[in-house]
Amino acid sequence: MNETDGAEGMVVEARGYVRLLRLARPEKLNALDRATSIRCRDFFRSAAEDPDVRVVIMTGSGDRAFCAGFDLSTVESGAFDQWDVSVGGLAKDVLFPKPVICAINGLAYGGGFELVLASDLRVAVPSASFALPEVRHGLIAGGGGTVRLPDQIPWAVASEMLLRSRVLHADEAMAFGLVNAVVAPPELMDTAWAWAEELAERSPQALRYTKESMWRSRGMDVINALELEERYSALVQHSDEAKRGVEAFVKRRRYRA
């Protein structure tokens, strides 16, 4: 594994077609200050265009937190007046076209939870917890929280989390389908890497348009959603990647993109 970026607040590591983005402010529970959020945004924008990146894993440093959201302590220095809720890359930018796996190593609150909500696959440790406490501070979960959360779990639970700042624990998140797996801490990164390396062997184009069809069709009526899916299907069906995949199936070979 090669470390490709050691900028303050985050570290990026590379293994083949997979990139691991590790938030690295453990003394602040990996909370995002403005500079770190901008670095995350720049990472995702660059990774979106890089053919050598097929899958991204996000996690946090230490064993207490994935990400505690926006670092409210920077308000004292005036950073809050300059804060742009569109900054952050994954939660508010244009749909990231590649699979994102969150390895949730502790609490995911506020913007940290919104990063999870914007991801595609999620694995968590038993001590992980999830919350959107913004209303307690006179704020709104404006990084996608009020939109994505009610779309991913039962409405009543989402309302309680958004309005009453209810904390959801890992076992509850698993029961509501908010995470894909809950594993012991020593298995967290092994699981995330196994999933990522499996996806990295698949057709980048098929992954991209499958993801886009899933995310963009949410909230559409069925007719429009099926028309969107058909357009994506046609794009993929006539590609060289699809031809190689079908040929591998017919010849009973394992397909690797």
Catalytic residues: 114, 134
Give the helix ranges, DSSP H, for the chain: 34-49, 111-117, 145-152, 155-163, 170-175, 188-200, 204-216, 222-237, 240-250
Residue 46: closest CA among 8, 89, 15, 95 = 89
CB atoms within 10 A of CB 227: 11
Q: Is 9 left (phi over 0), alpha (psi -120 to 50) or beta?
A: left
Q: Which long-range contacts (CB under 8 A, 24 or more apart) does 171-176 make?
A: 171/126, 173/124, 173/128, 173/130, 174/124
End-to-end Cα spacing for the chain:
21
| Residue 118 near residue 73, CB atoms below 8 Å | no
